[in-house]
Structure 1
Amino acid sequence: MHKLRNVLICDDSPVVHKAMAKYLSHYSELSLHYAEDGEQAIECLVNNQIDVLFLDLTMPVMDGFEVLQRLPVSKHETHVIVLSADVQKEAIERCLALGANSFLSKPFNQPQLATALSKVGVRFTPPQPAQVKTAVPSQGVKPAALAPSQYVASFKEVANIALGRGAAIISDHFGDFIKMPVPNVAMLSAAELVMAINDIKHQSEIVAIAQRFVGGGIHGEALICLQGKDIARFGHRLGFSQIDEYKNEVVIDIANLMVSSFLVSLSEQMNIPFSVRQPIVLEDYMAWGDIHCEKNDYFTVEYRYQAEVLDVQCDVLFMMDQNSTSVIKRIMETLH
């Protein structure tokens, strides 16, 4: 076993950076380096003798799979621990085949982190007991309020974990790899939402489905857009069949799976049970105003699932009203 000196945390989530810094703060003589994407990680590895790289898979610019394909980039031995929400069986197998030493799924805790490090032969030198300060929470003190950017970042990490588990569910049904999306979490104005819906309406190659959901004071609607020549094949491989040629059973079933797989994991993390309505296909003759747009801003989560081996793409936009935003913010303050 060797002593740990330099650790690189490569993840586009500031929440993960903060958590890792907290988990590793109890160990002395440790230098932490940070990267928000694969390109920054490669640059850091070239310029520093990194002992352990914690590597996320889903990142902008260059993802974790591309980083693994580029390694090694120096003569210094670097142990790679993949730290990802993408828990598809094939994703884990690909990482190990590309040279990763270990795989740690999000969310994780400090004992799991210590176990992963021990597997790569890393020895920590803990500080003296007197040097470690333990915070004692005061009774009756509420969690500190998060700034808007902080609770959005926190929810993005929660959404990322939910999407990873959702991708694993879909991959298990599909029997092949699903490209894991990077979620976009943001506030969207009513005007921007109307523009997005109008843009979808005028794209004839897109099949749009709407599905409402509710739970724990959160009210929202998901807009699912399917396109590609292999939608029917994709549905068939998921186990869905078309009984009536004049109906859209397959696209409705696909949409329902995309939404429910995300909400199930979100429910577990936020401790909120969600219920969903039956999805409906938005036809040209229908009043798209059913996706009602008030004057307030909306809290949105947007992501895209793609099958690696078929021509099919599924874009999902979750929209939650202003009252839901306060509920989400309160839960994020509790979690973080």
Structure 2
Amino acid sequence: MTTTVLICDDSRMARNQLARCLPPEWDVDIHFAEDGQHCLEVAAEVDPALIFLDLNMPEMDGYETLEEFRAQDFEYDVIVVSGDIQPDAQARVIGLGALNFIKKPVSKEKMLETLDLHGFYHAPDSAPETPQVERVVEQTDLNDQATFIDACQEITNVAMGRAGDSLARFLDVFVELPVPKVNLIEIGELIMALQFSEQESTVSSVCQGFIGPGISGEALLIFNDSSFSNIARLMKYKGKIDDSVELELLMDTANILVGACLQGISDQLDLSLSQGHPVVLGQHVQIADLLANDKPWNKTLSIEINYSIENESVDCDLLLLFTEDCIDTLKQRISYIV
């Protein structure tokens, strides 16, 4: 009997990865949705027996989708598949009715274990006599810029989740994760592409260079100055907050987010990235002034992640800038995944 499965994720790469992790001998009819609203529409048409649901999506995210299922009394079986691995995130989706949570990137072993646990699929006692063809959902050409950007965004999504989890555990908070913004742009256009929440406010920033096999670039943590008092309270700092204390808080936050995010990217691409010493770019300056320094390259792969903390006025941007010379290496590494 054919099982109808709906995979909801805004990334084509993620949809492909998840579909390939389904047991090849499992008789399934796979459908796809690109965000929560699309998921509601497709589910109404196909009545899926099982939905795989991402959390960080535009339009309607995974939490909102689960809430809508509950509001409309839809009794879909849902397994959340996400890069947001915070314990609170996992507890929240279970509380909203999800059967289980699987962290990205998904392994075939974990998929099989989860499907077996909930009775959707049981592996045969013996291997099938004829080899099974691996599922191919959508062709991916990394020379197509949109496909390449999508793949970079999905890799960042996983790395972002690890960094957010590290910060959440350090501060004992819930970190709200965005959809990463990825652009292949001219350096001169970078400031226009930034989505920092308060462009008119002053910021402070540190920069760390990174390098690996065929990879080089810079990581910038841009911290809204209005956030310092709140981050100090969360770090349980009791003294007077002056420039030196703010710099220490900035460095602590950068060490957590930059280190965890770059490690997450390294693990997925199977390479080692070495980090340079952090350098202060400026304190209490405008973003335009902060990014006015000329870079030794003309075009960059810019990845922006805006981290915020639930119920706290803490807002910071992590900006990863890869040199244009990295593009071919990144495509080669990503090709091993897709």
TM-score by length of 1: 0.84
2:82 corresponds to = 84
Deviates more, 1:117-126 or 1:319-328: 117-126
- When the two chains are superposed, the root-mean-square deviation of aligned CA atoms in Å is 3.2
CA distance in structure 2 between the partners assigned to 1:241 and 1:323 by the alignment: 46
Letter in 2 for 1:335: I
Partner AA of 2:149 in structure 1: V
Contact 1:152 1:185 in 2 (8 A): yes
Which structure 2 segments of 5+ residues have no match? none
Deviates more, 1:286-295 or 1:70-79: 286-295
Match of 2:234 in 1: 237
- Equivalent in the alignment of 1:267: 266
Residue by residue over 1:260-315, the C-alpha shift from the partner in whole angstroms, topping out at 9 and shown as x without a partner, is 22112222222213213213141459985774235631111111100002101111
Q: Quote the offset at 1:106 in angstroms.
A: 0.6
Q: Which aligned pairs between 1:166-245 and structure 2 lie closer than 5 A?
A: 166-193=163-190, 195=192, 203-227=200-224, 229-238=226-235, 245=242
Check the 8 A contact 2:297/2:324 in 1, yes or no: no
Partner Cα distance (1:305, 1:111) in 2: 32
Cα deviation for residue 163 of structure 1 reads 0.6
Cα distance in structure 2, aligned partners of 1:112 and 1:326? 32
With over 3 angstroms needed to count, the CA separation of the structure-2 counterparts of 1:151 and 1:241, relative to structure 1, is farther
- Offset, 1:14: 0.4
Q: TM-score, normalised by structure 2?
A: 0.84
- Distance in 2, matches of 1:67 and 1:195, equals 32
- 2:276 corresponds in structure 1 to 276
Shift of residue 325 of structure 1? 1.9
Cα distance, 1:241 vs structure 2: 7.7
Matches within 5 A, 1:1-336: 5-24=3-22, 26-27=24-25, 29-72=27-70, 77-123=75-121, 129-130=129-130, 132-133=132-133, 146-149=142-145, 150-193=147-190, 195=192, 203-227=200-224, 229-238=226-235, 245-247=242-244, 248-270=247-269, 271-283=271-283, 284=285, 288=290, 291-294=293-296, 296-336=298-338
SS at match of 1:87: coil
Q: Percent identity?
A: 26
1:56 and 1:331 map into 2 onto residues whose CA distance is: 24
What letter matches 1:276 in structure 2?
A: G
CA distance in 2, matches of 1:313, 1:134: 43
Residues 1-33 of structure 1, C-alpha deviation per residue, up to 9 Å, x if partnerless? xx6621010111101211233233723542111
Q: Does the 8 Å CA contact 2:56/2:82 hold for their aligned counterparts?
A: yes
Partners of 1:129 and 1:242 in 2: CA distance: 70
The alpha-carbon deviation at position 196 of structure 1 amounts to 5.5
Measure the CA separation in 1 of the matches of 2:41 and 2:32.
Answer: 11
CA distance, structure 2, for counterparts of residue 222 and residue 313 of structure 1: 17
Return the alpha-carbon distance in structure 1 between the equivalents of residues 91 and 154 of structure 2.
Answer: 23
Change (3 A) 1:321 1:240: farther
